[in-house]
């Protein structure tokens, strides 16, 4: 028996694989600090939980419209208007079972063999795999720490061909935390305006997690000429600490939203009715709790950046948003561990840190940019201090 060619083209998610490894080590009673998972350590706000409980009591436990209840679509429309100055009708909104599902629907509904998708690297692990699953070809644009992990308009221009179906823009970024300003997006948008056959996937999942007063911008807002061919994707997972509830959503052209709904109608059907009710409360409710959480994340970012930059051979840029840092460590490649192992790749570095320092991170190779590590700092300052201390010691022990 054989699995399909489409399945064979993809890899299991490296970030989820590391999360499972950490669960397993912890189950064995090993003191490992997990900095691999991309989820806030905060709990879902109580008012959101209450809305879910109320939905269950009120019998909202049945199938809903395939791509979202009217109540949730209205809450999303209000959110896009309030936060992004974007106007959508209900037939321009798709609600899915998590942000990853939004991506899956959008790409599987539109990509044919031979189509290219331009992806800035480092990238979120799922973009290339979903493109490959759909039969397309990822085309990468590399931007390292010295470029602030942000691509330039000339690079974008050079990457677009007649075969380009989508360009992905993710700001703030997973895995680097880098965010594009309105001016930077406008400059990229001017390139995109010259290529009317290209769709734009704006992944705004970390919109609310920005530091030092950095102002969020999204491309359809900054370049209204691109509104007609941009899918502005978002979700409740990160901002509202609702990763387990599985609700993602997007606003875009009606034809694309309809196509995504058609695919969803034959795969998952509607997202959980209870999670949708909870998401209505999240989006319509008091957003003030976010400020406190973002302030906590900012303190953790500063702690981690400062401790990692104390390591000889490691360079950790200070990101504008999200809850990840992406230190580069080219100078540590080729060094030898106390047990005599030569660290030849970032994957081996991650293995060394897990085995010897008992700290779990994810290797840069998983995000298409090496040698580097992604560290998620969505955990307490005490644990972060301990983890970074262990990484410092492990790196100092390399010869
Ligand atoms: C950039 C980005 N987009 C989308 C998602 C999807 O989030 P979820 O499927 O958990 O809603 C993630 C999750 O890690 C992400 O980092």
Gap between the Cα atoms of 380 and 384, Å rounded: 6
DSSP 107-152: HHTT--TT-EEEEEES--THHHHHHHHTT-EEEEEE--GGGTT---
- Whether 230 and 220 have beta carbons less than 8 Å apart is answered as yes
Q: Considering only CA atoms, which residue is closest to atom 5 of ligand 1?
A: 99
Tell me, yes or no, if the two domains 5-43+289-396 and 61-284 fold the same way: no
Cis check for the bond before 398: say yes or no (omega within 30 of 0): no
Average pLDDT of the chain is 96
Gap between the Cα atoms of 172 and 221, Å rounded: 16
pLDDT in tens, 83-134: 999 999 999 999 999 999 999 999 999 999 999 999 999 999 999 999 999 9
Say whether pLDDT at 4 is over 90: yes
Q: Quick one: pLDDT at residue 82?
A: 97
Which band of pLDDT confidence, cut at 50, 70 and 90, is reported for residue 247?
very high
Cα 394 to its chain centre, rounded Å, is: 28
Could you tell me the two tokens for 220? 């359809």
Q: Quick one: pLDDT at residue 37?
A: 85
27: Cα within 13 Å, side-chain hemisphere? 6
Could you tell me the two tokens for 107? 């790409």
CA of 198 to the centre of ligand 1 (A): 23
Which of 15 and 274 is assigned the larger pLDDT?
274
Q: Quick one: pLDDT at residue 15?
A: 80
Residue 44 DSSP one-character state: P
Probe ligand 1: pick from 175, 235, 271, max atoms within 8 Å of CB? Answer: 235
CA of 72 to the centre of ligand 1 (A): 19
Ligand 1 atom at minimum distance from 206 CA:
1
CA of 96 to the centre of ligand 1 (A): 12
CATH architecture for the domain at 5-43+289-396: Alpha-Beta Complex (3.90)
Say whether pLDDT at 318 is over 90: yes
Residue 328 DSSP one-character state: B
Mean pLDDT of 146-157: 97
CA of 49 to the centre of ligand 1 (A): 21
Gap between the Cα atoms of 95 and 234, Å rounded: 10
Could you tell me the two tokens for 146? 């010295």
Within 6 A (CB) of ligand 1 lie 38, 98-100, 124, 170, 174, 203, 205, 235, 237, 243, 248
Gap between the Cα atoms of 125 and 104, Å rounded: 13
pTM of the model: 0.96
Whose CA is closest to 139, among 167, 102, 107, 180? Answer: 167
Q: Where are the alpha helices (DSSP H) in 206-359?
A: 219-222, 254-265, 273-284, 289-309, 346-352
pLDDT in tens, 38-84: 889 999 999 999 999 999 999 999 999 999 999 999 999 999 999 99
Q: Considering only CA atoms, which residue is closest to atom 2 of ligand 1?
A: 205
- Whether 117 and 131 have beta carbons less than 8 Å apart is answered as yes
Q: Considering only CA atoms, which residue is closest to atom 1 of ligand 1?
A: 174
Residue 247 DSSP one-character state: -
Q: Considering only CA atoms, which residue is closest to atom 4 of ligand 1?
A: 99
Say whether pLDDT at 138 is over 90: yes
CA of 322 to the centre of ligand 1 (A): 11
Write down the residue that tokens 């840029």 correspond to.
Answer: 317
pLDDT in tens, 153-198: 999 999 999 999 999 999 999 999 999 999 999 999 999 999 999 9
What ranges do the domains of the chain cover? Answer: 5-43+289-396, 61-284
CA of 134 to the centre of ligand 1 (A): 18
Mean pLDDT of 311-325: 97
Share of the chain above pLDDT 70, in %: 100
CA of 296 to the centre of ligand 1 (A): 21
CATH topology of domain 61-284: 3.40.640
Say whether pLDDT at 16 is over 90: no
CA of 312 to the centre of ligand 1 (A): 32
Whose CA is closest to 325, among 334, 315, 333? Answer: 315
Probe ligand 1: pick from 105, 121, 124, 178, max atoms within 8 Å of CB? Answer: 124
Ligand 1 atom at minimum distance from 237 CA:
11
CA torsion angle for 326, 295, 82, 274 (degrees, to 10)?
Answer: 80
Angle at 221 between CA 290 and CA 233, to 5 degrees: 60
Q: What are the φ and ψ backbone dihedral angles of 215, each rounded to 5 degrees?
A: -95, 125
Ligand 1 atom at minimum distance from 39 CA:
14
């Amino acid at each position: 028996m054989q699995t399909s060619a489409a399945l064979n083209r993809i890899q299991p998610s490296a970030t989820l694989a590391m999360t499972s490894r950490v669960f397993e080590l912890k189950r064995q009673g090993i003191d490992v600090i997990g900095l691999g998972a991309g989820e806030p350590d905060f709990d879902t706000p109580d008012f959101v939980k209450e809305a879910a409980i109320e939905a269950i009591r009120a019998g909202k436990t049945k199938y809903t419209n395939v791509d979202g209840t009217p109540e949730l679509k209205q809450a999303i429309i209000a959110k896009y208007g309030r936060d992004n100055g974007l106007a959508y009708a209900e037939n321009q909104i798709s609600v899915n079972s998590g942000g990853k599902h939004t991506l899956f629907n959008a790409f599987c509904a539109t990509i044919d063999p031979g189509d290219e998708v331009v992806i800035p690297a480092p990238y979120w692990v799922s973009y290339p795999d979903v493109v490959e699953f759909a039969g397309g070809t990822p085309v990468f644009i590399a931007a390292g720490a010295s470029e602030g992990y942000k691509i330039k308009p000339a690079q974008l221009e050079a990457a677009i061909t007649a075969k380009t179906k989508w360009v992905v823009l993710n700001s703030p970024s997973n895995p680097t935390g880098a965010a594009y300003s309105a001016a930077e997006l406008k400059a990229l948008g001017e390139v995109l305006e010259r290529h009317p056959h290209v769709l734009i996937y704006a992944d705004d999942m970390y919109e609310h997690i920005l530091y030092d007063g950095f102002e969020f911008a999204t491309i359809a807002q900054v370049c209204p000429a691109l509104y007609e061919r941009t899918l502005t994707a978002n979700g409740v997972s990160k901002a509202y600490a609702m990763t387990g509830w599985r609700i993602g959503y997007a606003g875009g052209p009606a034809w694309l939203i309809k196509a995504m709904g058609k695919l969803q109608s034959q795969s998952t059907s509607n997202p959980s009715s209870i999670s949708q009710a909870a998401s209505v409360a999240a989006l319509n409710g008091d957003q003030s709790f976010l400020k406190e959480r973002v302030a906590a994340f900012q303190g953790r970012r500063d702690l981690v950046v400062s401790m990692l930059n104390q390591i000889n051979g490691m360079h950790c840029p200070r990101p504008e948003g999200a809850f990840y840092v992406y230190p580069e460590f080219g100078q540590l490649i080729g060094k030898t561990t106390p047990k005599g192992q030569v660290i030849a790749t970032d994957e081996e570095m991650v293995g060394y840190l897990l085995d010897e320092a008992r700290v779990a991170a994810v290797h840069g190779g998983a995000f298409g940019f090496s040698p580097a590590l992604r560290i998620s700092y969505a955990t307490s300052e005490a644990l972060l201090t301990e983890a970074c201390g262990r990484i410092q010691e492990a790196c100092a022990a390399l010869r």
